[in-house]
Structure 1
């Protein structure tokens, strides 16, 4: 059995079993910081993918201006308009005590206020020792000062090409990241992801692309499985939501890591989420072709999860 298949098999064993004795929230209470006046769809996609994949509750921390729009998308969403609240830090500190993991970035915007908010959130998430998944605007803002995440091994970054390029060039100031020259091979790209993860003191990076590359600075694994041929908006947000949940499940019982030849829980979570969202996207694309949208992927999550992970 390949290491890739072993990781998926290991992940199956880490998924909490459903039984009559469960209480609301035990399968996952996931915090999401995102959304702004101009971007309300991204945090919705992250929330719904997280819920459809098996989380019990998501808490979406957003701005007052974005809150009514996001609330109108679905009654399943718990939307807390606290990002511009004067009591933000005390509220976040209290919320972190109930969250099993934290997602930062979808639709957040790039304002100075947003940067201050995520610095505060990261501080309190780290104090609770919970997994943190950072995407999109969260990565953009932190690229200028990575000290807030450096050395936190439960942190996962999910950059696309441009986000990775900016983060890499900010971290290695005299080196340009160019996939048409120096980094034009998969081997070189893997080495770049590994090197950046090392520079960030073993934060895990899932670099999205035609082939997803994952590294924590020690291990490197790739996912080249087929997904959708169309690159519409929102798929990265769906991945972020799923990864926020999977990182919590993989963090529940680290004693099982040995079954993947000591592959860390973050690598298991990243690879499993990458494989899963590609399978959902492939199925949705086969139905809708050029009309394929992120909402179509959400509709495939339930059955795909059952077929991949729950079916005996």
Structure 2
């Protein structure tokens, strides 16, 4: 259920430097957000061409971690994006390609001309996820730092997860002066690390946080555009669920931004914050429902790959065809 923030997280916004939260979103309750998401999804007809439903970029994938970018990319596709590009280190490319022929894989992160090669593709992308399987090699982090600057200039919506969050805690200035949506998706430990290292009071208004846990919590500087939810889920916390979430957010964010003018509320007009809030809620609900359905069949043996099989069913249950 969608809960008023005061019941579960009275102190979190203050820790972040956000203004005190006193209630959930005015008109953007559970039924409203699901209705909005239903209206934002692209129609399944012949009125559009390939790519309009979403061209998503995933930045991540290293020698040790190849599953995470796959999970993020395949979830973006299964939710309804048309194309997914994965930008990874060379040792990860063949492995990721072997997981799915639908993913377009670019082994560029560890190349000398990485930024030039990758920036060429950025003009084609509607949203980018940074972090799944990225690893923490200093040279890769430098490439990603330069990449985030390119994303800032090009104003591409951005989702940051996993090792991307670690990079942010070490170099918080990277997120200065953003004028397009940035969504951080930390788990409990990552959230504590962020609040210990970052001064959120200096963050731009377009940066938001989806804190993952027993309750998923959406936080931003506008106290009225916040929510917390415990819909679905289970006690099984297998690896990869956060990657499914980040890929799902990216696709829904593109759809919502395309239809942001149709998101009607009593709130001051800030289409980026409202789109981020609705997108995160939709992705949270979707992944939690997939978890619930997969757990009902597999129990303790459930894996993230089992959850993927339920994306279609869960999507239709929440948002329709």
Note whether the superposition's TM-score is higher than 0.5.
Answer: yes
Alignment partner of 1:32: what SS?
strand
1:154 aligns with 2:181: yes
Cα 1:282/1:260, change in 2 over 3 Å: farther
Residue 30 of structure 1 contacts residue 99 of structure 1 at CA under 8 Å; is this kept in 2? yes
**Match in the other structure for 2:192:** 165
1:235 aligns with 2:238: no
**Match in the other structure for 2:315:** 305
Q: Distance in 2 between matches of 1:36 and 1:2?
A: 39
Question: How many angstroms does 1:44 deviate by?
Answer: 0.6
Alignment partner of 1:66: what SS?
helix
**Match in the other structure for 2:170:** 144
TM-score by length of 2: 0.86
Q: Distance in 2 between matches of 1:100 and 1:216?
A: 22
Q: Give 1:3-152 correspondences, 5 Å limit.
A: 3-152=29-178
Question: How many angstroms does 1:7 deviate by?
Answer: 1.5
> Runs of 4 or more off by more than 6 Å in structure 1?
none
Q: Distance in 2 between matches of 1:164 and 1:16?
A: 33
**Match in the other structure for 1:187:** none
Structure 2: state its 5+ residue gaps: 1-26
Residue 10 of structure 1 contacts residue 260 of structure 1 at CA under 8 Å; is this kept in 2? no
Question: How many angstroms does 1:17 deviate by?
Answer: 1.4
Question: How many angstroms does 1:220 deviate by?
Answer: 1.8
Q: Distance in 2 between matches of 1:266 and 1:260?
A: 17
Residue 37 of structure 1 contacts residue 65 of structure 1 at CA under 8 Å; is this kept in 2? yes
Question: How many angstroms does 1:260 deviate by?
Answer: 7.0
Structure 1: state its 5+ residue gaps: 173-195
Q: Which has the higher contact order (CA 8 A, sep 6+)?
A: 2
Residue 50 of structure 1 contacts residue 241 of structure 1 at CA under 8 Å; is this kept in 2? yes
Residue 28 of structure 2 contacts residue 265 of structure 2 at CA under 8 Å; is this kept in 1? no
Question: How many angstroms does 1:200 deviate by?
Answer: 2.1
1:257 aligns with 2:263: yes
Q: CA RMSD in A?
A: 1.6
Count of residue pairs brought into register by the alignment: 287
Alignment partner of 2:58: what SS?
strand
Q: Distance in 1 between matches of 2:218 and 2:176?
A: 17
* Deviations 1:237-264, CA, capped at 9 Å, x for gaps: 1001101111111111221122475561
TM-score by length of 1: 0.88
Q: Give 1:140-289 correspondences, 5 Å limit.
A: 140-152=166-178, 153-172=180-199, 196=200, 198-202=201-205, 203-218=207-222, 219-259=225-265, 261=267, 264-289=274-299
Residue 7 of structure 1 contacts residue 260 of structure 1 at CA under 8 Å; is this kept in 2? no
